[in-house]
Structure 1
Amino acid sequence: MSLNELPRFQRDMSLNGRSGSIIFQMVIDMDESRLGSIAQLQAFLEGTLEVSFSAFADDQERYAHIASVVRRLGYTRLSRPDKGIVLRYLARTSGYSRAQLTRLLARVLEGQPLAKRYRVPAHAFARRYSPADVALLVSVDRAHGCLSGPATVHLLRRAWHVHGDARFERLAQLSPSHLYNLRKSGPYKAARVSLTKTRPVLNAIGQRRAPDPGGRVGFIRIDSVHQGDLDRIKGVYYVNAVDILTQWEVVACCERISEAFLLPVLEQLMAQFPFPIRGFHSDNGGEFVNRQVAALLGKLQAEQTKSRPRKSNDNALAESKNAAVVRKTFGYSHIPQRFAGLINTFCQEHLNTYVNLHRPCLFAKQVMDAKGKIRKTYPPELVQTPLEKLASLPDIDKQLRRGITVQLLQQQAVQVTDLQAAEQLNAARMALFATIEKRSRRLA
């Protein structure tokens, strides 16, 4: 290669505005049209100047360069080794890969014009943060333990403005809202997020199914109710149990949901039902699904069932009574745990007697419509007290506890009217709250 064919170098000096350093940029200006033979291309490729450059402003200039080289050298008439030299030359001057050049040359030889076949969609958004920025964000989250959005953005800004790390120049402008978008992106999840399935709770206590009374009493649904916190101090707990068939309800109170406090209250609660307990259904809370409760039910020969996932009606009867009876009686305000004994006595002597002998309940009647769907209606003739529902069952005396009959319960119910029973309940509740308030003030 002669001196006239060597590249002409120009030195471009610019000033970096941030650091004040001078940057030298080498610009290559070469008249490649002088290379008109395979020997000259070979000499260029084997020259002493190991230069990899791209002397074209855009793809259109590259396309024109490729077409001109093919025409000038008569690419179709060349041998296979010479075609390889041309491909090496075009790869050096255009910057395209060997596979891309093969596709472009095929289009030129077919007489097709070289032009871009893709366009940026009109609705596309410009990508501001590169994969390197996402990888840098992954490293920050991994090091700091994935802090909140505002805290992470503060760290990114400090890395650029305080510590001068040039890698964080774009991330320093990241907003907290867009930070979460980057955390949801595919590259971030591939490097940072690992998804695992929820591990099922393997608890062999109880069966996951709805109870089936089969027309018998003694199958109860049970739930716990918390009275509320005050300055992070727990209040009393209520245990509410309701018979499925008759809606016979027993409410008890304990200081804490633990073995020492709950088991005695459960024994006392189940003993207040006029019939033996045959079934015990609860949600999946640990206060009822444990070995101690299972042993207690084993002594009573009662089956234990628990609510199923995605079956919100499995324990709906007890939960509805929580609002209609427990919350309406005791409200939502905090009651200290030391008053659990007084409340439990009030439930035994007044509340449970009222709700079972004098408070009416709605019982459903199932009707199948024309589409075969079962619908529940609540006709007026099925509004009964739990005692009235219990007395309407056939051969009910055989299902009651020894020494208890329907006649004895009915005689107890008619000793006072329903209005007098409600008034006595309200008076006893006011006296209970007055006692709690008086003792609380004395301790304060």
Structure 2
Amino acid sequence: MERFASFGPEARRYTPHVREQLLAMSPATIDRILKPTKAAMDPVGQSSTKSRTTRLTELIPLMTRVPALDQQPGLIAVDTVAHCGHTLKGEHAFTLTATDIFTGWTVNRTIKNKASKWIVEAFDHISNQFPYPIDHLHSDNGSEFLNEGLYQWTQHHGLVRSRSRPNHSNDNPWAEQKNADVVRRSAFRYRYDTTAELELLNELWEAVNLRKNLFLPTKKAVGYRRTTSGRYVRTYDAPRTPAQRVLDTGILLPPERAALRRLYETVDLASLTRRIGEVQAQLIRCAAAKSRSQASGAA
């Protein structure tokens, strides 16, 4: 930065003493000092879930634990994330997350709003992105999931429905975890409310989901063990990617197994990651300044 004189208007604060302090700092110290400033610049996550009582709350049963019958691929947990920036006011995009609780296979799709028309259209797309049929849909009590349009769609496709208890996000931890780990980490917390941004988000999910499902291993909690001090701690299985977990189940026919392996062998991970970075840079250019300019108005 000294060589190219790229300090900008902050150059007046760049004294010899400040220079000495900067050069003495470790990267961890820099991150720690900047954390409050960065957090103040970006929007905080806001919940757009509004539970309501309808006839569907009686038709769709509660599920607080996974029954033994569903300890296999096909049970999909779903949730939505609002891309609202600092405020929920006005129309903005939502990303629908669908993840198989057994294999971890995850698919995302961004929609214009939470109208049942777009929800059903998103599920049409999502159901075709799983390498095996889905047979059970688990959601929270948001109005985007408890509506006639989606209920009729699930009936038509023969899917079992279940829902969480109101105000118990821990009843749907699989989708909630992906909201943070996939959606917020990949698409940030900016406000997206244009057609161009919606298209960029869906382009981003194509690459993000491919990388996650094929290349990023995860561990699953499988029980507890007692330590020498008498405490109980979680135990986990060996790290495996969602694709590996799918293959391990034996649920795929030989042609489908061959297709999944062929996909893994033909995807260039480095190029895929570069493409994710390029789309993210475009999203930041579109939305970062807009989102931050709305901060004072939202307050």
Amino acid paired to 1:285: G
* Number of residues of Structure 1 aligned to a counterpart in Structure 2: 230
Q: Which residue of 2 aligns with 1:397?
A: 252
C-alpha separation in 1, matches of 2:283 and 2:124: 24
Q: Which residue of 2 aligns with 1:344?
A: 202
Q: Which residue of 1 aligns with 2:107?
A: 250
Amino acid paired to 2:234: K
CA shift for structure 1 position 359: 1.8
CA shift for structure 1 position 201: 6.3
CA distance 1:230–1:311, change in 2 (3 Å): closer
Larger RCO (CA under 8 A, 6+ residues apart): 2
C-alpha separation in 1, matches of 2:70 and 2:142: 26
Contact 2:191/2:287 (8 A) holds in 1: no
Q: Which residue of 1 aligns with 2:60?
A: 206
Question: Does residue 425 of structure 1 match 2:276?
Answer: yes
CA distance 1:432–1:290, change in 2 (3 Å): same
Question: Does residue 271 of structure 1 match 2:128?
Answer: yes
Q: Structure 1 unaligned runs (5+)?
A: 1-198
Match of 1:294 among 138, 141, 151: 151
CA shift for structure 1 position 262: 2.0
Structure whose CA Rg is larger: 1
CA shift for structure 1 position 369: 4.8
CA distance 1:374–1:258, change in 2 (3 Å): farther
Contact 1:240/1:252 (8 A) holds in 2: yes
CA distance 1:200–1:258, change in 2 (3 Å): closer
Q: Which residue of 1 aligns with 2:78?
A: 222
Q: Which residue of 2 aligns with 1:281?
A: 138
- Which string of whole-angstrom CA distances, capped at 9 and with x for unpartnered residues, describes residues 138-166 of structure 1? xxxxxxxxxxxxxxxxxxxxxxxxxxxxx
Question: Does residue 326 of structure 1 match 2:180?
Answer: no
Question: Does residue 378 of structure 1 match 2:236?
Answer: yes
Q: Structure 2 unaligned runs (5+)?
A: 1-51, 291-299
C-alpha separation in 2, matches of 1:359 and 1:428: 20
Normalising by structure 2, we get a TM-score of: 0.68
Amino acid paired to 2:140: D
C-alpha separation in 1, matches of 2:90 and 2:166: 31
Instruction: Give percent identity, aligned residues only.
Output: 23
Normalising by structure 1, we get a TM-score of: 0.47
Q: Which residue of 1 aligns with 2:297?
A: none
Question: Does residue 238 of structure 1 match 2:89?
Answer: no
C-alpha separation in 1, matches of 2:119 and 2:246: 28
Q: Which residue of 2 aligns with 1:61?
A: none
CA shift for structure 1 position 309: 4.9
Q: Which residue of 2 aligns with 1:387?
A: 243
- Which string of whole-angstrom CA distances, capped at 9 and with x for unpartnered residues, describes residues 24-46 of structure 1? xxxxxxxxxxxxxxxxxxxxxxx
Question: Does residue 361 of structure 1 match 2:212?
Answer: no
Contact 1:256/1:337 (8 A) holds in 2: no
C-alpha separation in 2, matches of 1:222 and 1:279: 11
CA shift for structure 1 position 428: 3.3
- Which string of whole-angstrom CA distances, capped at 9 and with x for unpartnered residues, describes residues 302-324 of structure 1? 10000025754220110011111
- Which string of whole-angstrom CA distances, capped at 9 and with x for unpartnered residues, describes residues 30-73 of structure 1? xxxxxxxxxxxxxxxxxxxxxxxxxxxxxxxxxxxxxxxxxxxx
* Counterpart mapping for 1:54-69 below 5 A: none
Contact 2:216/2:241 (8 A) holds in 1: yes
